[in-house]
Amino acid sequence: MCEAEQHNHQSPSRRGILRWGAAALPAAAGVTALAWPTQANGTASAAAGSGAYYKAGRGDTLRGIAGRFLGSEQRWTELYRLNRQVLDKSGEPRPGQRLELPESPDGATTRNFAPLPATAKPLSVPPEGYRLDRIGDAFYAVTAGGTQAAFLVTSAGVVVIDAPPSLAEALPAAIRRVTSRKVTHLVYSHDHADHTANASAFGDVIRIAHTATAERIKANQDPGRPMPTVTFDDRYRLDLGDQQLLLSYPGANHEAGNILIHAPRQRAAMMVDLVMPGWAPFRAWGTADSVPGVLRAHDELARMDLDTYVGGHVHRLGTMEDIKVSREFVRDLWEATGKAIAATDMAPYFGKVEPGNNWAGFDLYLQAVADKVEPVIYRKWLGRLGAVDVFTRENALTVALSQIVDAPRDL
């Protein structure tokens, strides 16, 4: 370890070399500006190289190299993407190996993110400014700007599911395009404002929510989210005209009160903020109330017989395959975190900080756990889901804490 550090500390002004451009990188710092054969199989995940190289020393890790030369350890993922063809299975460089350094136009700190795989890329938006997808005979999803709501047209009126402020114009316009019937019911998928804060615009309708969502709405006192008129705990069957929705609650998940909305006739289900079709999860699953509940809800969805999934975000609808892939991802993250916790002794980290500063000791420990989880997930999932390199680390921290304090025995 010492040797490697010596090797890499030859330049007293490492920060100084980060005015980018290969010529500005002194060879003394282990960085050379040699040409490297262009990779024959350039893939969508190839990062832009700078043409500058770093010769790895003994004990070097991608994270350490990124910390020294790219302004942030988090940028190790760029080194990995750029050099994955030459790294062995361990994913770490061998002594003497030349690693291409990524472009860093502003001289450091800005992360270059992996390109989105095709399944995560935005779809074209029609001139109306939103996408309207018909699901089966009478279920519709409206998507704009990465947010989604849905409605069911029945012979006795329209049931709206969610009322996102960002769809304040698109959702009523989409309903008018399809039917002249009035909105008679509104289902709150959960309480979060980005999905529901325009509910008041639908006026005096029957509003259905889980009991826990009703409690949140009451506490948050937002005039845009009027109180539900019907609440339920486990299940609720809405029969309206010729159509049916089955609402159920698999327990606290993304949020306490976040329900599963099943349209059996259309072989579709909507569960908001759980599966993000084509994408890795958002940061901390968008403030998930229960990480174990997120896994259990995935299990519940995976058991269903569905063709279409409506997730409330991203650019498109999902399929059963999207549900299964998302479940595999969250399982992988859960299991990799469990292994990292088992392999990381907490005590030494508390020895590195002022006695009694438990926050600091715990942070060092959690970061060490995340250091182990992130590469495992990244290596398996890069290119399979969008934005794996964005929130995986923070999600590993969230999962680690959940494993310690929720300590579920069923997962």
Residue numbers at the binding site for Zn ion (CB under 5 A): 192, 273, 286
Residue with smaller CB distance to Zn ion, 288 or 370: 288
Residue with smaller CB distance to Zn ion, 285 or 349: 285
Instruction: Determine the residue type at 397.
Output: L
Residue with smaller CB distance to Zn ion, 294 or 325: 294
Q: What are the Cα distances from residue 132, in Å, to 26, 163, 313?
A: 56, 15, 14
Q: Give the shortest CB-370-to-Zn ion separation in angstroms.
A: 24
Q: Give the shortest CB-106-to-Zn ion separation in angstroms.
A: 33
Residue with smaller CB distance to Zn ion, 162 or 273: 273
Residue with smaller CB distance to Zn ion, 288 or 340: 288
Residue with smaller CB distance to Zn ion, 273 or 322: 273
Q: Give the shortest CB-286-to-Zn ion separation in angstroms.
A: 5
With the CA atoms of 348, 336, 116 and 113 taken in that order, what torsion angle do they form, in degrees rounded to the nearest 10?
10
Contact 162, 150 (CB under 8 A): yes
Q: Give the shortest CB-376-to-Zn ion separation in angstroms.
A: 27
Residue 185's φ and ψ, nearest 5 degrees, are -135, 150
Contact 4, 90 (CB under 8 A): no
Query: How far is residue 69 CA from its own chain's centroid?
Result: 28
What whole-number distance in Å separates Cα of residue 367 and Cα of residue 406?
19
Residue with smaller CB distance to Zn ion, 26 or 286: 286
Q: Could you tell me which of 73, 156, 56, 113 has the C-alpha nearest to residue 368?
A: 73
